[in-house]
A and B are shown apart, each in its own frame.
Chain A
Amino acid sequence: TQLLEQSPQFLSIQEGENLTVYCNSSSVFSSLQWYRQEPGEGPVLLVTVVTGGEVKKLKRLTFQFGDARKDSSLHITAAQTGDTGLYLCAGSLGGATNKLIFGTGTLLAVQP
């Protein structure tokens, strides 16, 4: 059972465009993390959001955690070719565990 659905699955845009990736679930998460993964490498942590409604910014990337802690979004402003990669959201259900539930992934290609 896939608890976290990401949309879109694929995105190809031109450099300079804006984009938003969504991560949705029917489950409540105690925290949610966003990662970017490049081919043949492990995921690299971008941000962790913990509080419902929380907004975090990382240069041109803006992350938001839904008020009910069931969904999240990642907005990229003025995309660059270096933003190309697989974006993954991952949620923690809480409790005495570090287990993460990963989203289905969004493959972003930024064309020059």
Chain B
Amino acid sequence: KAGVTQTPRYLIKTRGQQVTLSCSPISGHRSVSWYQQTPGQGLQFLFEYFSETQRNKGNFPGRFSGRQFSNSRSEMNVSTLELGDSALYLCASMAGSANTEAFFGQGTRLTVV
């Protein structure tokens, strides 16, 4: 059974650009969450999707957005990149709609220069 696939693994962008990250959850999983991990703040919740609907959003500016497709694949987008957006972005895949175990992908390492 394939795990959670995140692409790309590494990304270097310039300030002001925008970026799109992709996550394919475990087959059959309908829930996807995104987290940002930085040395100073640890893992911070970005947003959560279930059956193409965003159910929760963390305390991040509107430059951070996401969506989920009918096949449960999810994308997150960050516009007008800032240096502080440099982080490891992690996608978690869950089988159930609530309070279920999270399985993480390897993450996308975004560096903004």
Binding site for B on A (CB under 8 A): 2, 30-31, 33, 35, 40-45, 48, 88, 90, 92, 94-105
Q: Which residues of B line the A interface, CB within 8 A?
A: 4, 6, 31, 33, 35, 42-45, 48, 50, 55-56, 88, 90, 92, 94, 96-107, 109
| List of A residues within 8 angstroms of B98 by Cβ | 94-98
Q: Which of B4, B42, B99 contacts A98 (CB 8 A)?
A: B99
Assess whether A42 is in contact with B48, with CB atoms less than 8 Å apart: no
* A42 to B89 alpha-carbon distance, docked (Å): 9
Residue in A42, A95, A99, A101 whose CB lies within 8 Å of B105: A42
| Interface SS, B side | strand
State the main secondary structure of chain A at its contact with B.
loop
**Distance of B24 from chain A, by nearest CB (Å):** 14
Q: Are B103 and A98 in contact (CB under 8 A)?
A: no
In the assembly, what is the distance between CA of A48 and CA of B112, in Å?
Answer: 35
Given contacts A97-B56, A97-B98, 16 further A-B contacts (CB under 8 A): A35-B104, A40-B106, A41-B106, A41-B107, A42-B106, A43-B104, A92-B99, A97-B99, A98-B33, A98-B50, A98-B94, A98-B96, A98-B98, A98-B99, A100-B45, A104-B42
